[in-house]
Amino acid sequence: MGTRAVNGPRQAAERHTGVRATGDRPLSGDSAVVSLADGRDVVVKRGSGPDATVAEAAGLRWLGESGDVPIPTVHGVDDDWLVIDHVPEGKPHVGAAEAFGRALATLHARSAPAFGSAPPDGPAEAWIGLARMRNEPHDDWPSFYTRCRVEPYVRQAVDRGLFSTSEAAVFDTVCTRLPELAGTPEPPSRLHGDAWSGNVHWASDGRVWLIDPAAHGGHRETDLAMLRLFGTPLLDHVLGAYREAAQDLGCPLTPGHEQRVPLHQLFPLLVHTVLFGGGYARQALTAARAALA
């Protein structure tokens, strides 16, 4: 676990790198890019709640240990701050998109101990963005997805008046039918877990990096569905290269994966519902009905 040390981004950067900070500039939220005396820049992020920094650090290390997809190096973590590499921004291009698709297929094939397993040294009570997210191992994907990724958020939404009883019943039906809707059973994959376009980082080195994970063992179609949710650039090239690589690895995507996209988008849409309400509740309900159709 981390240790309690608040201060500010510069102090956190110095503490975890051992190098004097010479400047900083703000990023989103409580994050900052801190310049170090040795010429490097690091990103210093403040956690959104208990164990958030520890969970993210564990996820970055787990996703990056194989070197399949570029992942920022973790320089240090405590209960308040996470210090990682700063990766300068670049522009999307086809070569990077296809390389990313192939690399993501390889990362997913690395597998995970169980559906719902946390990364090594990662807490069970983790985070996805500003929402809590529980990682609890299950023997099969439908039971994990039901208990940890659908039901908790539907309950929160009902309590806040975002879903009526009859609307909540649609999600209950999805969960009841999930073994049938899920398609051919697959082994658990090593997931980024929050692979929306904002966490797909097109870098100046010509590669695609993954940042800000909510990593866990899950179904690979969940990552792919999240890539589709908010307009990842050059997505057709990413997915085309992914399909080819998965075929070459001997684990092709199973029949019906395109039709299951709404099912796998339920989780991020429900998270957005409890965080932001409004239109996301309608989108989540539409996705649930599409999954049943």
Q: How far apart are CA 195 and CA 62, in angstroms?
A: 15
Amino acid letter for position 228: R
> Which alpha helices (H) appear in the chain, and where do they start and end?
9-17, 52-64, 94-109, 141-144, 151-159, 165-176, 178-181, 220-229, 235-248, 261-276, 279-292
For 84, list phi and psi in degrees, rounded to 5.
-135, 170
Q: How far apart are CA 153 and CA 140, in angstroms?
A: 20
Q: How sure is the predictor about 30, in pLDDT bands with cuts at 50, 70 and 90?
A: confident
Q: How far apart are CA 250 and CA 253, in angstroms?
A: 10
Q: How far apart are CA 153 and CA 143, in angstroms?
A: 15
Per-residue pLDDT reduced to its tens digit, 204-261: 999 999 999 999 999 999 999 999 999 999 999 999 999 999 999 999 999 999 999 9
Q: How far apart are CA 69 and CA 201, in angstroms?
A: 11
Could you tell me the sign of the dihedral formed by the alpha carbons of 64, 107, 260, 124, in that order?
negative
* pLDDT of 4 higher than 70: no
DSSP state of 199: G
Q: Which residues contact 248 (CB under 8 A, 6 or more apart)?
A: none
Average pLDDT score over residue span 82-96: 98
Average pLDDT score over residue span 3-22: 86
Q: How sure is the predictor about 6, in pLDDT bands with cuts at 50, 70 and 90?
A: low
The secondary structure element, H or E, covering residue 75 is strand 74-77
Per-residue pLDDT reduced to its tens digit, 109-157: 998 999 999 999 999 999 999 999 999 999 999 999 999 999 999 999 9
Q: Assess contact for 140 and 66: CB atoms under 8 A.
A: no
Most distant CA atoms of the chain, gap in Å: 60
Burial group, residue 48, by CB count within 10 angstroms (0-12, 13-18, 19+) = middle
β-bridge mates for residue 46, sequence order: 81
Please report, for residues 11, 15, 22, 77, 176, the alpha-carbon distance to residue 39 in angstroms, rounded to integers and kept in the order given: 17, 17, 9, 21, 56
- pTM of structure: 0.94
